[in-house]
Structure 1
Amino acid sequence: MPSQTIRYAVFIASMAGLYLSAAMLVPAAMDFYFGNPDWQVFTVSAFTVGAICLASATANRGVPAPFSRRLGFLVVNFLWITLSVTGAIPLYLSTLGLDPADALFESVSAVTTTGATVISGLDSVPPGLLLWRSMLQWFGGIGIVAMGLLVLPFLKVGGFTVFKMESSDTSEKPFARFAVFVRAFFAIYIGLTVVCTILYAVLGMSEFDAVNHAMTTMATGGFSTHDASFGAFQSPALIWTGTIFMAIAGLPFSVLILFAVRGRLDALRDPQILAYGCILALMTLILALSLRLSEGESFGMALTHSAFNIVSVVTTTGYASLDYTLWGPFAVALFFLATFLGGCSGSTAGGIKAYRIVIIFSSIRSGLMRLIYPNSVRPVRYGSVVVEPEMQRSVFLFVCAYFGIWAFGAIALAATGLDIETALSGSITALANVGPGVGPVIGPAGNFSSLTDTAKLILVFLMLLGRLEILAVLVLLIPAFWRE
């Protein structure tokens, strides 16, 4: 591989690390205001990391390499590794006393918007550290949308190219100029975060809780400032507000931009949005009826908690309003299934994603029809658009790799001494970037602190694999990728 390509990828990652080091001054100011000594940790980390990243950027500055698939793969991987390691430094040096594996796990969980945590006693953690965790998730959400809409479609490994395949616009991007699109995306992402913050504050959260939860809601990350997660706020109005904003964050941002900026109502007819909405509505209704019949809960409260927790898991946010593992085996099985699904392509959500589910079901239907009518032509469709064979292969390759890595991850976790329930749910919750698993150890009422360092590092790798759509990481393991 040309050295210019590697150097340019390092330059981009170094600039991202430089910006993140500057962001450390925000929690530093927060801790300084409240008299917490961790302000010194954030300040020292900011200047140290900033100096290293600035030196690296300066050393690798030069003529930009032409964008290619190899450069794209390198940039995606280098960016997430840089952000993960950089984000872990103040966590490791802080008064929390985290070891390197714990600090890296918490940082990777944040920037991949997974939401799994190794920190207990969140209610008493210094505000600067809580804010830093939320900021990492919010920044991670920005990077995920940008990657899913602008980078991965070009690399043809994921991030379904909504610009070419969505039914509302089959030929053009939402905006002809890239800069206009970027401004529109930032305006909507920041605007939704601000509106969510205001509503949370008006409905009963403290200003600090509102800011943190709004950032992690829009990032579908799920980090909370309380051990009880969203269960610390039992107001139905707050719970429904969180449900709505999580559902919005699971929608394609390109469609949100078309709708908000251009008034394109037809953009909402994207087939993956219909599938996404039907999955949420059906699973919520089934779970609410189950709770009403088995637990004797009023249908209103059953619907409230079912909607919140189903939307939280499907969008891979990972909040919990209650310990849903206590709702019985049927509920646990339903949530385990929901862990695999994910939101829409081009959103901050993880998982398999709705567009792949649409294509898989269309492929199955087309195959069954050809069994009945062997001589018929039954193309695989995404709405009114015919899905090209290359896209079909990409989807099935991803899904096969997804389930294979989940199985190998579960076996690796079981080898560290975890029980089969924890190993199976831990592997998929990391790969899908959901956060909580099932069972007493890593369920919504627990956390990942009791796991061994080896298990945590396995989960770190799975979180990065899932966030980068698997194939974008695995391609770096092929020797041919590095050859000239």
Structure 2
Amino acid sequence: MNRNAVRAAIHIAAVFAIYLSAAMLIPAAVDLYFGHRDWQVFAFSALSMGGLALAVAVATQGRPPQVTTRFGFLLVNLLWFTLAVAGAVPFMLSSLDLSVTDAFFESVSGITTTGSTVINGLDHLPPGLLLWRSLLSFMGGLGVIALGLFLLPFLNIGGVSYFRIESSDIEDRPFERFQTFAISLIGIYTALVFICAVCYAIAGMRGFDAVNHAMSTIATGGMSTHDTSFIRYANTPAILWIGSIFMFIGALPFSITILFAVRGRLDAMRDPQIRAFAGYCVMFALAVAVYLRVSMDMPFFEALSHSTFNMISIITTTGFSSDDYTQWGPFAVACIFVATFLGGCSGSTTGAIKSYRFLILFELIVNGLRRLIYPSMVQPVRYGDRTVDEDMQRAVVLFIASFFVLWAIATILLAATGLDLTTAMTGALTSLTNVGPGLGPVIGPVGNFSSLPDAAKWICSAAMLLGRLEILAVFVIFTPTFWGR
């Protein structure tokens, strides 16, 4: 890794920090409109962070670097760390007076679209801070899509959605020029947020709450304006179904969403990962609904509304909750625990393992069993009608193995801080998968992370970043080979 590449990565990160600083003026304007003094905090943060970022950008300006895999890994890590630090500044300076630990945790939770929080009293929080949390999720969701569509395929550690676009049965790409594709991506993403907000408002949600929840719903971020999340809307089925539908849309591959929305390509929906994702959403929702109807004598439509909302929320790694599902009984809790691993599709805003990896892993297992019987058999691993190359197979196996090893390590580290096993195990899992709530009374759907020791919050923050960057993209920069010439 040469100095020119490091300088260029710092320059790009500084430019993105300037954009984030400009975004701070939005909550500043909202607080000024509502007469809250925190507008000064956001204005000062925007000017100070913007000025510092501009100075760094000017100082590191130079000729563009050679685009290599190493440069890509460095840039990805530096961008997300920079955004996490910059996003924490308003939390530290606000009337909440959060510590560095809490402010960084809240910022990381936002940009990684995790939705965990250390803030109590969200219902009485200044409107600017509530909007800032949602904006971090909104911007983080866009960053996650870009990561899945453009950067991970380049780094050979994922990106089936883009791989699908270039398949033989879809003759053309969404657009010939990357700039047109990017503009369409932002436009459709923003349009979905607007439509979701309007639907929430029509269903009875207050306008400000509708906008904030819409940003978190499409970003599958889970940032709510209420301590009780969607529990206050538990008796409004329309809101729960709207949330379920738009969380599901947010978990679809955005490249394919663009093909469908702009080109009307229904054939794009044949992607196997979409069918797998939809299949386990329906299966879990129906199973839990039937269980609630039988075990708790809940009316079936009410049971279906709550089970669909909460299961899709967990599967898509959004993290909203319409009830304390830890009280639903062991079968429902077991389903929710398993659903935490699943995730949506590649190239979407979701986290966790994702459906395409399960499809490829299943093919690898089936082929492995066949070769036990026919050792000389040559059987390619397939994803739909395409053959999965060895790089993709290796990436899937490496990711899943690294995921479970890292989950075990994070669980042990959290337990070492004094947390009970349930909190440590599900806290590590929900951070790695970017889901948000865990299980148990501390970090469950009616709790939050505020009571955790500072060391535990740093561990969870690191796990959230690792999970969002697909683990391997972070691990690789700590290897001697990465920094060698």
RMSD (Å), alpha carbons: 1.3
Residue number in structure 1 paired with 2:15: 15
TM-score normalised by structure 2 residue count = 0.98
- AA paired with 2:292? L
The letter of the residue matching 2:27 is: P
For residues 181-192 of structure 1, the aligned pairs below 5 Å read 181-192=181-192
The match for 1:93 is 93
Q: Which amino acid aligns with 1:263?
A: G
CA shift, 1:347, in A, is 0.1
**Equivalents in 1 of 2:373, 2:44: separation in Å?**
69
Q: What amino acid sits opposite 1:114 in the alignment?
A: T
Q: Which residue of 1 aligns with 2:453?
A: 452
SS at match of 1:340: coil
Shift of 1:185: 0.7
- 1:126-147 Cα shifts (integer Å, max 9, x gaps): 0000000000000000011011
- Separation in structure 1 between the aligned mates of residue 318 and residue 133 of structure 2, nearest angstrom: 14
Q: How many angstroms does 1:383 deviate by?
A: 0.6
d(CA) in 2 for partners of 1:339, 1:24: 32
Q: Please give the alpha-carbon distance, in whole angstroms, between the structure 2 residues aligned to 1:18 and 1:390.
A: 36
Q: Give the aligned residue type for 1:174.
A: P
- For the residues of structure 1 that align with 2:445 and 2:272, how far apart are their CA atoms? 32
Contact 1:221–1:317 under 8 Å retained in 2: yes
Q: Match of 1:241, as an amino acid? A: I
Which residue does the alignment assign to 2:239?
238
Say if 1:167 and 1:269, in contact at 8 Å, map to a contact too.
no
In structure 2, the partner of 1:314 is: 315
- Distance in 2, matches of 1:479 and 1:35, equals 53
8 Å CA contact 1:10–1:60 kept in 2: the answer is: yes
After superposing the two structures, state which structure 1 stretch, 428-437 or 231-240, moved more.
231-240
2:326 equivalent in structure 1: 325
Tell me the CA shift for residue 477 of structure 1.
0.6
User: What is the rounded CA distance, in whole Å, between the counterparts of 1:165 and 1:349 in structure 2?
Assistant: 19
Query: Which residue of structure 2 aligns with residue 419 of structure 1?
Result: 420
**Distance between the aligned counterparts of 1:173 and 1:263, measured in 2?**
13
Aligned pairs for 1:324-403 within 5 A: 324-403=325-404
Q: Deviations over 1:1-52 (max 9, x none)?
A: 2111011101110011001101111111111111111111111111000000
Amino acid at match of 2:7: R
Alpha-carbon distance between aligned partners in 2 of 1:231 and 1:473, rounded to the nearest angstrom: 36
Note the 1:77-476 alignment, pairs <5 A. 77-164=77-164, 173-234=173-234, 235-476=236-477
Classify the secondary structure of the residue corresponding to 2:349.
Answer: coil
Specify the alignment match of 2:73 in structure 1. 73
> Counterpart amino acid of 1:279?
Y
AA paired with 1:455?
A: A
Deviates more, 1:408-417 or 1:227-236: 227-236
Greater Cα offset, 474-483 or 401-410: 474-483
Q: Distance in 2 between matches of 1:305 and 1:52?
A: 47
TM-score by length of structure 1 reads: 0.98
The 8 Å contact of residues 250 and 343 in structure 1, kept in 2 or not, is answered as: yes
Q: Distance in 1 between matches of 2:79 and 2:192?
A: 25
The verdict on how the C-alpha distance between 1:265 and 1:482 changes in structure 2, with shifts beyond 3 A counting, is same
CA distance in 1 between partners of 2:91 and 2:277 (Å): 36
Q: Distance in 2 between matches of 1:171 and 1:260?
A: 17
Does the CA-based 8 Å contact 2:170-2:268 persist in structure 1?
no
> What residue in structure 1 maps to residue 59 of structure 2?
59
Range moving further from structure 2, 313-322 or 151-160: 151-160
Q: Where does residue 26 of structure 1 map in the other structure?
A: 26
Q: Tell whether the 8 Å contact from 2:145 to 2:254 is kept in structure 1 after alignment.
A: yes
* C-alpha contact (below 8 Å) 1:13/1:75 kept by paired residues: yes
Q: How many pairs were matched up? A: 484
**Which amino acid in 2 is paired with 1:14?**
A
Structure 1 distance, partners of 2:259, 2:232, is 36
**CA 1:478/1:170 → structure 2, altered by over 3 Å: closer, same or farther?**
farther
The answer as to whether partners of 1:169 and 1:267 remain within 8 angstroms in 2 is no
Q: Residue 112 of structure 2 contacts residue 140 of structure 2 at CA under 8 Å; is this kept in 1?
A: yes
**Cα shift at 1:329:** 1.5
Mind listing any 5+ residue stretches in structure 2 that lack a counterpart?
Answer: none
8 Å Cα contact 2:85/2:107 also seen in 1: yes
When residues 90 and 358 of structure 1 are mapped into structure 2, their CA distance, relative to the original with a 3 A threshold, is same
* Whole-angstrom CA distance in 2 between matches of 1:168 and 1:93: 53
Q: Which moved more, 1:452-461 or 1:229-238?
A: 229-238
